Structure 1
Amino acid sequence: MSRSALRAGGLAAGLTGLAGCSGTQSVLDPAGVDAEVLADLFWVLLAGAVVLWILLNGAFFYVTRMSARRHSQRVGEALIIGAGIAFPTIVLAVLLSYGLSIMPDQRAPGDGLTVRVTGEQWWWRVEYLPEDGEPVVSANELRLPVGARTEIKLGAAKVIHSFWVPNLAGKMDMFPGRETRMAVEPTRTGEFRGQCAEFCGTSHALMAFSVVVMQPDDFAAWLESERADAAEPADASAARGREVFLAEGCGACHTVRGTPAVGTLGPDLTHVGGRRTIAAGTLPATAEAFGQWLANTDHIKPDVRMPTYRDLAAQDLADLAQYLKGLP
């Protein structure tokens, strides 16, 4: 391979690496206080690793290239003890001390809103727990106020999951029958992507969620709107879709507040049309995507517990999708 090809390959690899340093799911593009601490930790550890690499390889280069001759026992012992033992021990001890010193900050509790997130197979149950009033239930999307430290209570229904929003904080495992806690404090508004980081079954890779960070006033207004019952169908197609929804027994698994649908096995659909995605980050929340999901559930998300509705008449399926999209 020519040198120009090697250089081109190295440049491409470098650009690819830099591309991973930003975006809606990058630990190196922090948008939260805890993520900033972890990003700083990464750069400090990387600098320490580079120093060790240069020292050890420099010592090897010295004895094999710059001074390729027989050395005295004193020089050999100095290289081994100094470069091979003492200096790495000092550097690693400093790095360990620095890493341990930031751990308490990662465990600082929230001082505002509390949210409970439960890992299901394979979606996320989200409950906002205000100090006054009943919990506000949602699914597969988390909204947070910027500049506030939100406490998140984590649990799991069947198997172990792991809650991870790289831009905002580190990972935290979720266990059946046990509650773990973490807190996040976003520093800027925007939309970020979270993911289950613990293999939890067939559709583990399709278990994502959106995190929308909002201004405090906008968040308060959104949370108040989430308390409301579902909107009435906007047109005849959506009204027929509601009839299909109830006739097909969807309310046995899903809740749509303000209707006879009060099921709790599946996600709450009261405001599903206003979410960024459906099926836990798998599809966009469009009427077309709702139709695809209803007709091809088992193909889109293997082993999912929701039945498919491909046997519905095409018009019924379209009306049902229109009804779901019209639940903002």
Structure 2
Amino acid sequence: MGGRTRAVGLAALLIALNGCRSVQSTFQSHGPAARSIAGLSWFMTILFLIITLVMWGLVGYAFYRRRGSLAEHEPISVTGGQAWIAIGGIAVPLLVLGVLFVLGLQLLRDFPIHGMHGAGKHSQMQYTMKPEIRIIGHQWWWEIHYLNDEPSKQFTTANELHLPVGRPVNIEVETRDVMHSFWVPALHGKVDLIPGQPNYIRLEASQAGEYEGQCAEFCGEEHSRMRLLAVAQPQSDYQAWLAGQRKAGAEPTTADAVEGQKIFLSGPCAMCHQVRGTIAGGRVAPDLTHLASRQLIAANSYKNNDAYLEAWITHAQSLKPGAEMPNLTQFSGEQLHDLVAYLRQLQ
């Protein structure tokens, strides 16, 4: 009994802790598009519950009302039961599906996501404007480009999307490999990333906060760890964040970070990753120019701290099997410490 009690207690604790995290749900909306989707979701849920209760009521009525054998009851053609079949089996389903179809079309008209044309009733900007952000899906991480007419103001980051509060942002989405699906349920619905076909979505956050997103289209063995964090900030904070991200990577200021930079630039890291302001110009993996400013690593699968950084560098395939990041076990303990010290100061 003692072991069973402890197991139950542990399960309850895990559930409670999980409840402290933000939940990806269409019912928790923090933007105009998400509110419309939540409204339709609530309508469908309530309608489903009503229909279910009615159906169970009819089943219960039939179970207790009808008695005797089949031979004792008149055929359905004699009692006029065809009307019940026509109403319950044809008319009611057609009515329900027709209403949902019209509401769905209205929602799509208000929030077009498959082209930069038109504008819904909630829009403040026309879709004819250029996208501000381009998001590229990879197996299994998100490459995020902040666009600008001035090349010096463009930069690239990964897996953490920052947005201004109270202003719609046009985003272009693409994929470099298989099909993915971009979804931040608190802000909008899903939009597919189709090979060779760019798509578009408009995100608007009505209040500051952090909202979890992820790939919603199965894209391989690590699909569940292709996550995204959307950070909505007040306009002033957002502009400050943009200014900070446009800067080159910070120069190391401590002895171990200086050694770590040498290891980074002379080893395999610089072949895949980029740190602006250094000779590291790799483009096949996430840009690490401001890695330390991100809350999470490995497409938001693990916390961005020393322990997980060391584990990710040396045994990425254990943390995320199948990822393109290889296990780098050639570093000594001191080299690994210095390398992490360098990465941790890339604010």
Answer yes or no: same fold by TM over 0.5. Answer: yes
Shift of 1:37: 1.2
Residue identity opposite 1:45 in structure 2: M
Shift of 1:74: 4.7
- Structure-2 separation of matches of 1:228 and 1:38: 38
Gap change, CA 1:68 and 1:89, over 3 Å in 2? farther
Partner of 2:232: 213
Q: Select which of 305, 320, 324 maps to 1:305.
A: 324
Contact 1:192 1:210 in 2 (8 A): yes
Partner of 2:3: none
Q: Residue 81 of structure 2 aligns to a residue in which SS?
A: helix
Partner of 2:146: 128
Does residue 1:119 correspond to 2:137, yes or no? Answer: yes
- Structure-1 separation of matches of 2:302 and 2:331: 21
- Seq. identity, %: 36
Partner of 1:103: 108
- Structure-2 separation of matches of 1:187 and 1:238: 40
Contact 1:123 1:140 in 2 (8 A): yes
Residue identity opposite 1:214 in structure 2: Q
Q: Residue 167 of structure 2 aligns to a residue in which SS?
A: coil
Partner of 1:194: 213
Gap change, CA 1:68 and 1:147, over 3 Å in 2? farther
Contact 1:30 1:39 in 2 (8 A): yes
Q: Select which of 62, 81, 85 maps to 1:80.
A: 85
Residue identity opposite 1:137 in structure 2: T
The more displaced of 28-37 and 126-135 is: 126-135
Gap change, CA 1:213 and 1:222, over 3 Å in 2? same
Q: Select which of 199, 206, 210 maps to 1:180.
A: 199
Q: Select which of 267, 276, 283 maps to 1:248.
A: 267
Shift of 1:85: 3.0
Contact 2:26 2:41 in 1 (8 A): no
- Structure-1 separation of matches of 2:221 and 2:63: 52
The more displaced of 312-321 and 246-255 is: 246-255
Residue identity opposite 1:128 in structure 2: Y
Does residue 1:60 correspond to 2:59, yes or no? Answer: yes
Contact 1:24 1:191 in 2 (8 A): no
The more displaced of 153-162 and 77-86 is: 77-86
Shift of 1:278: 1.0
Shift of 1:264: 0.9
The more displaced of 217-226 and 243-252 is: 243-252
Gap change, CA 1:297 and 1:63, over 3 Å in 2? closer
Residue identity opposite 1:89 in structure 2: L
Partner of 2:8: none
Shift of 1:314: 0.3
Gap change, CA 1:88 and 1:158, over 3 Å in 2? closer
- Structure-2 separation of matches of 1:160 and 1:127: 19
- Structure-2 separation of matches of 1:96 and 1:245: 55
Contact 2:137 2:180 in 1 (8 A): yes
Partner of 1:36: 35
| Per-residue deviation, residues 75-102 of structure 1 (Å, max 9, x unmatched) | 5233223333333332332232222222
Contact 2:22 2:212 in 1 (8 A): no
- Structure-2 separation of matches of 1:240 and 1:169: 44
Q: Select which of 314, 317, 328 maps to 2:333.
A: 314
Q: Select which of 318, 323, 326 maps to 2:342.
A: 323
Residue identity opposite 1:307 in structure 2: P
Coordinate RMSD, CA, aligned: 2.4
Does residue 1:94 correspond to 2:99, yes or no? Answer: yes
Shift of 1:68: 4.9
Partner of 1:6: none
Structure 1 unaligned residues grouped into runs of 5+: 1-15
Gap change, CA 1:24 and 1:238, over 3 Å in 2? farther
| Per-residue deviation, residues 253-272 of structure 1 (Å, max 9, x unmatched) | 11111111111111111001
Q: Select which of 287, 293, 309 maps to 1:290.
A: 309
Residue identity opposite 2:98 in structure 1: A
- Structure-1 separation of matches of 2:98 and 2:221: 41
Gap change, CA 1:87 and 1:121, over 3 Å in 2? closer
Shift of 1:311: 1.9
| Per-residue deviation, residues 183-215 of structure 1 (Å, max 9, x unmatched) | 111111111111111222222222112111111
- Structure-2 separation of matches of 1:119 and 1:88: 39
Partner of 2:244: 225
Partner of 2:7: none
- Structure-2 separation of matches of 1:104 and 1:62: 43
Contact 1:59 1:79 in 2 (8 A): no
